[in-house]
Amino acid sequence: MKAGEEKWLSWWPGLATNAHARTSWRRADRRTVLVSAAGIASVAAITVAALNLPFPVFGGLLYFVGLAGAGVLVLRFKRLQRETAANVQQLADVKRAIDHAAIVATTDVSGRITYVNDKFCEISQYSREELIGQDHRIINSGHHPRTFIRDLWRTIAAGRVWHGELRNQTKDGSYYWVDTTIVPFLDARGKPYQYIAIRADITARKAAEHRLAEQAALARVGQMAAVVAHEVRNPLAGIKGAIQILMSRRPAGDLELPVMRDVVSRIDALGDLINDLMVYARPKPPRPTIFSLNRLLTEAVLMLRRDPAGAGIEVSVEGPDITLTADAELIRATVLNLLLNAGQAMNGTGRITITVSRHDDQCALEVLDTGPGIAPALREQVFEPFFTTKARGGGLGLAIAQRTAELHGGDLSLTCPESGGARFTLTLPLRPVPDKSAH
């Protein structure tokens, strides 16, 4: 066993190097020595009494019997030492294998972390020193309800094994999923004295499941969108045309004109929602062209200025000009959506900072506003279709923007700085990624 292995193995229950186990083993050794010594003395005394030997002969006989007994004891202790070393080595090998294959942590009965392996530190991004002494709230993502966590603790506190899936949070705020088994170690009274949690990273599997569920939902949305487009959009166009004809026949000061204009505006908004629904449910494959990202951003800012929500917004662009190969129309619409959302969040006043950077074969575009930010409870929902906090709108803008990023082999993410505001980061490859197509 390597130097220090005894300390590393101290978390394993029942191990001879465990303090409790070592104490019990030593007590057993002392009892064995005393019993053996008493047995040897008894044999010697019985032999002397039976043969009526003089005292010198008794002493010599006792000496030789003692030598023989000591040899027996030495051989027995050597055998016990070999068995113990073999058991310790076997458990060390098992622990080494588990450490390479799983994420392992042990806690005391209060939930304080007493041991973590390297894989735990790697996936959580915390050092061992930062984790020891803390409880698992340090990696709690807030995803699971309190009743879920309460049932977990009730199960293991009762001495039963708990198994389930947990979503945890890393030090940098990202999330990961683990398939978790928590086993309580029980004392002689059947009460837990520590817990060991063995986990497997299932983040990739959960992402694949999410994509499959999303594709199934998109298929249903696509069918509904086709019906809506055919049965609703065409009649809306007829209604709009009829109202516009009526408006043309009204005198300039007619009191009903504002009402008619509002109806036309609502019809246009409903038409935009149907178009968004079609774009989201049945996205078109990107048509890549080579363009200057700086020029595209300038065009998007000019379009923002034409909207009432962005007319009074201060916008600055920082970073190098990058040549990008992507669908310029889709990227422009995505950037404009982010700018409009920022302008609406700031109620038309404030500052938007667009930062462009390049990392190897990717570019990142950050849109940071000085608005109130997004509440933590809502941050996970902002990219969900039909979710919106606005009085108007269908809640598809950010969902479409994220799908646009994914169709290009990129990503769209949200963070909220402690200083306030919201930061959306659009990451795109500089050139098209193979095997990326709309499904």
C-alpha 144/C-alpha 148 separation (Å) is 6
Sign of the C-alpha dihedral computed for residues 397, 398, 403 and 407 taken in this order:
positive
Degrees, nearest 5: CA angle 34-15-184: 125
Topology (CATH) of 206-282: Helix Hairpins (1.10.287)
Q: At 54, is the secondary structure helix, strand, or coil?
A: coil
Q: Are 200 and 103 in contact (CB under 8 A)?
A: yes
Q: What is the pLDDT along the chain (439 residues), one digit of tens a residue?
A: 444 444 444 544 434 334 444 444 455 555 555 555 555 556 555 555 555 545 455 455 555 656 666 777 777 777 887 777 777 777 777 777 788 889 999 999 999 999 999 999 999 999 999 999 999 999 998 889 999 999 999 999 999 999 999 999 999 888 999 999 999 999 999 999 999 999 999 999 998 998 888 777 777 777 777 777 777 777 888 888 888 898 888 888 888 888 888 888 888 878 877 777 777 777 778 889 999 999 999 999 999 988 888 888 999 999 999 999 999 999 999 999 999 999 988 888 899 999 999 988 899 999 999 998 888 878 878 888 777 777 666 677 888 898 899 889 999 999 988 888 999 999 999 987 665 444 4
Q: Give the CATH fold of the 105-201 domain.
A: Beta-Lactamase (3.30.450)
Domain boundaries, the chain: 5-101, 105-201, 206-282, 285-439
Long-range contacts of 12-17 (CB under 8 A, 24+ apart): 12/91, 12/95, 13/185, 13/194, 15/87, 15/88, 15/91, 16/84, 16/87, 16/88, 17/88
Q: Name which of 35, 31, 33, 11 is nearest 21 in CA terms.
A: 11
Predicted model pTM? 0.54
Fold classification of 285-439 is Heat Shock Protein 90 (3.30.565)
Per-residue tokens: 197:
């949690």
